[in-house]
Amino acid sequence: MNNELVTVIYFWKVKQSKLGFALLRMALDRGGLRRMKGVRFAKMLGAGKGESFTPRDADITRWGALVVIEESQLVALDNSKLVKRWRANSSDEVRYLVDPISSHGLWAKVNPFDYVKSAGDGEVVAITRARIKWAQNVRFWKAVPPVTSSLHSSPGLLQTIGIGEAPIGLQGTFSHWRSGADLRNFAYKGAAHQEAIAATERHAWYAEELFARFSVRDIRGSLNK
């Protein structure tokens, strides 16, 4: 049996009239997703516009799921009642299949992407996730605008979406880049991002954080603006 792992990321676009459906399924699908055969790690995600990465950024029409699963169970996941239910209630869906290049830190006390197996040629995805200390939320939000401005103007950025398990305290980003070099230029050469890194060290505002890079294996579908 093929027990190789793959990371799957879904994003769904729903009409505002489907907000009740989305909120209900966010609550009910967390356990169901984790209990699926072959699943090693799973999170249901709210999504943001990728503009400020603060609670104001929340987009009630975008929702997502991240799953680390055995490749042999990928088709079963894609055809599951859970995914089909979201698909039936969405106007748009995009699915990313990605393989980790590197992963540092923890998400819910584990590193779900520690099965590094890719050299990372071609397009890449970066995922950051942090649990912010409650006392540091306001300071964190004040530091975000220069970084997001720098991010959106970065050469090679193809897509960025704010992600989170809750509107406050559990913040993350999903960004899709033309190449690993473009991502590295933003992460290590951009002045705003370097200042944010320095501020993180000064203020210790994260109780937990993770940064992971992935090569893009496949993209199916898209999200209309």
pLDDT at 58: 81
Query: Lowest-confidence range among 43-52, 91-100, 128-137, 155-164?
Result: 128-137
Q: Is 142 inside a domain boundary? A: yes
Q: Is 25 inside a domain boundary? A: yes
| Mean pLDDT (the chain, rounded) | 84
The two tokens of residue 119 are 């050299």
pLDDT at 185: 85
Q: What is the CATH number of the domain that holds 123?
A: 3.30.70.100
pLDDT at 171 over 90: no
Provide the domain count of the chain.
Answer: 1
pLDDT at 179 over 70: yes
- pLDDT category of residue 169 using cuts at 50, 70 and 90: very low
> Model's pTM, two decimal places?
0.86
Please state the three-class secondary structure of the chain as a single string: CCCCEEEEEEEEECCHHHHHHHHHHHHHHHHHHHCCCCEEEEEEEEEECCCCCCHHHEEEEEEEEEEEEEHHHHHHHHCCHHHHHHHHCCCEEEEEEEEEEEEEECECCECCCCCCCCCCCCCEEEEEEEEECHHHHHHHHHHHHHHHHHHHCCCCEEEEEEEECCCCCEEEEEEEECCHHHHHHHHHHCHHHHHHHHHHHHHCCEEEEEEEEEEEEEEEECCCC
Picking from 136, 146, 173, 199, the residue whose alpha carbon sits closest to that of residue 53 is: 173
Q: Is 203 inside a domain boundary? A: yes
Q: Is 192 inside a domain boundary? A: yes
pLDDT at 33 over 70: yes
pLDDT at 170 over 60: no
Q: For 95-151, how does the pLDDT look when each residue is reduced to its tens digit (9 = 90+)?
A: 999 999 999 999 999 999 999 876 767 999 999 888 776 555 556 666 555 456 557
pLDDT at 48: 84
What is the pLDDT averaged over residues 16-26? Answer: 95
Q: Is 225 inside a domain boundary? A: no
Domain hosting residue 101, numbered range: 5-220
Q: For 191-222, how does the pLDDT look when each residue is reduced to its tens digit (9 = 90+)?
A: 545 555 555 555 556 668 899 999 999 999 99
